[in-house]
Chain A
Amino acid sequence: MSFRLFAIGLTASFGLAWLSVVVVPFFKLRTPSPISFQEGFDEQEGIYHPKRAGRVANGAAVYAENGCYQCHTQVIRPTYAGMDLARPDVGGLSPAVNPDGIDSRRESNVFDYSGLDFAMIGTTRTGPDLMNLVPRLKARVRQQAKDDGEEISEGVVAGRVRDYLFQHLYNPRSFARLENWSSCPSMPFLFEEREIKGQPSDDALDVTVEAGHEVVPGDRAEALVSYLLSLEHDDPVPATMDYAPAAPADDSQG
């Protein structure tokens, strides 16, 4: 075989694959076409607008820099690819953990990653999936309040979730629940320890430090928590892209 033939064969076999699985899908996925809710199938109408909140872009950069993706994934797989939707609080909330609400579990869709430059799908689940971190934490806060016989508003729930995230970043093993087994790295370097001047800060963490000092989140901790608070991907989507819709809780819609 001549070199020319060799080069042509090599270029063709590689180039075809390169174009069809790399280049074309990359640009196609840049502009997903909007999807509408359909009357009769969905409970609402109009175009599906994914929820967005927080300083997503620079928070995601902090997430990437510190290698959170090494242990946490961000994808809810459909039933053919894994059992993610069978767990009560990963793909959304099942009635088991959210007795008053609907079953919000659903698989990930292309709009869940909009606003990012890189979808941190992740490689390993040494830690839990984070796609629905916020609904999971909110359910836990509500459950805790209920157990304590406490009435709390949604605002208080959100505030407690935020405090929990800061505390977890500072030292995951400071929670009794995780103390003995969590291998999540603590990241005290995202926080600053400073002298209390006047009133202690509202954001100060509940940790023991030198008297007259407090620990408050630094800029990067703020950005990261803001990003983590955007990890809430359980809003209802059009049935046309919910390939494995949960069974309806009751028949009253029919």
Chain B
Amino acid sequence: MPLTLTPDQVAFLQGPLSMNVGAVGRDGWPCVTRAQGLAVARDRRSLTVLLAAARSRAVLDALDAGSAFTLVASRPQTHATLQLKAARAERVPVTAAHRAVSARCVAAFALELETLGYARDLQPTLASILPTNDLVALRFVPAVVFDQTPGPRAGTVLARA
């Protein structure tokens, strides 16, 4: 039975988030890269995550080699965090809509950090580190959703396929 995200989880995943994607390389060493955009499918069963190709070579190579996949997304203001794991993630063509999603997600993340006092004028800094002209789109179907909010309950399974 495929997993369907709850409306609350979808709303959370559309908020200002810090997102990172993990995989395990051909040599068995785990690898991580920052994700810079996320879109949830209308049926709430699959997601498309956006990465900068040049910043994510190790993760992309691991996924090409068949590694399992994980996405962790955290709201800086509340520390509320979800981790979504999938058996695989497949590359899909990047669209103009993806580029717009990425630009919006990076701007929202920067604004959230500015509001929290991490830095001033962070939007141009993050926009130059996480550009939209080098995107890779990865579609995945989550098999497990974990609550990863820091604390003793981190790791609780919220949903499983």
- The answer to whether A and B interact is no
